[in-house]
Amino acid sequence: MSIKKEIQTVARQIHIYVSMFVLLILLFFTFTGFTLNHRDMFLESNVESTCELIKIPHSYFNSKKKIENLDEDKLLDYISEHSNVHGISSDFQVYTQYKDNKLFEGEISVNYKSPGYDAVVYIDLRTEKAEIEMTDYGFIAKLNDLHKGRNTGELWKILIDITTILITILTLAGVCLLLPKKKMLNNALKLTLLGGCIAVVVYYIFSP
């Protein structure tokens, strides 16, 4: 078998198996690309907002209720275990006001975010109670955030990166399969140029 035929065989195998590997992922991103581009068609009517109230044990604060030595990870674990909150947590936002070296007013807030969902936790340092406000924006919103890699964590972002690499390999393998077929290659290159020109014209002329 000649080198050219070997290259064609490898390219065909790459094209077949890579396309099957990314098939469902590509269908997901094409569908969510449509839902993102037509958000008015997929307005969620079942956005759910809920509120929970939990008591934070006094042991999580020191005796003077100062927060310099507060174990944030431990507090976050407690909140997650005793409520329905989930997602990626933000840094703590702390507000305190003292009078005569005593806590007069104080609050800790922290945000949680995941695809199609967010929550905010307010901890009153005087009462040591946490109020948790959660909003679920629905299934389509979750899919849209997954498409954008928003609030998904690093592993999902890595999956998106791997998918883009595999699509590039898939495309190059397809081009490689066309190389021996001169007439088909010429027609394909014309279509490629046409598609690129349409995108450029639409952007520069019709986009605001």
Q: Of 120, 160, 115, 119, which is closest to residue 141 (Cα–Cα)?
A: 115
Q: Are residues 7 and 36 in the same domain?
A: yes
First to last CA, the chain: 55
Asked if 7 and 73 sit in the same domain, the reply is no
Looking at the structure, tell me whether residues 100 and 151 fall in a common domain. no
Residues 116 and 186 in one domain: no
Choose the final residue of a domain: 136, 160, 183: 136
Count CA within 13 A, CB hemisphere, residue 14: 19
What is the tens place of the pLDDT at every residue in 47-73? Answer: 899 999 999 888 877 644 455 567 788
Name the domain boundary from 104, 136, 168: 136
Q: Are residues 132 and 58 in the same domain?
A: yes
Cβ within 8 Å of residue 84, ≥6 positions away: 50, 52, 134
Q: Are residues 78 and 121 in the same domain?
A: yes
Residues 121 and 178 in one domain: no
Same domain, yes or no, for 124 and 148?
Answer: no
Q: Specify whether 74 is located in the same domain as 116.
A: yes
Mean pLDDT of 183-200: 91
Q: What is the pLDDT of residues 111-158, one digit of tens each?
A: 999 999 999 999 988 888 999 999 999 899 999 999 999 999 899 999
Residues 171 and 147 in one domain: yes
Per-residue DSSP letter, 58: G
Q: How far apart are CA 193 and CA 184, in angstroms?
A: 14
Out of 136, 162, 186, a domain closes at: 136
Q: Are residues 7 and 78 in the same domain?
A: no
Q: Of 59, 64, 63, 56, whose CA–CA distance to 108 is shortest?
A: 56
Q: Which residues of 183-202 are buried (b: 16+ CB within 10 A; e: fewer)?
A: eeeeeeeeeeeeeeeeeeee
* pLDDT above 90 (res 26): yes
* Joined tokens for residue 100: 């005569």
Q: Which residue has the tokens 């590509």?
A: 26
Are residues 148 and 178 located together in one domain of the fold? yes
Q: Which domain holds residue 28?
A: 3-43+142-206
Q: What is the pLDDT of residue 61?
A: 73
Q: What percent of the chain has pLDDT above 90? A: 55
pTM for this prediction:
0.81
CA distance 51 to 62: 27
Three-state secondary structure call for residue 19: helix
E strand spans, the chain: 48-55, 88-89, 93-99, 102-114, 117-124, 129-136
Report the domain count for the chain. 2
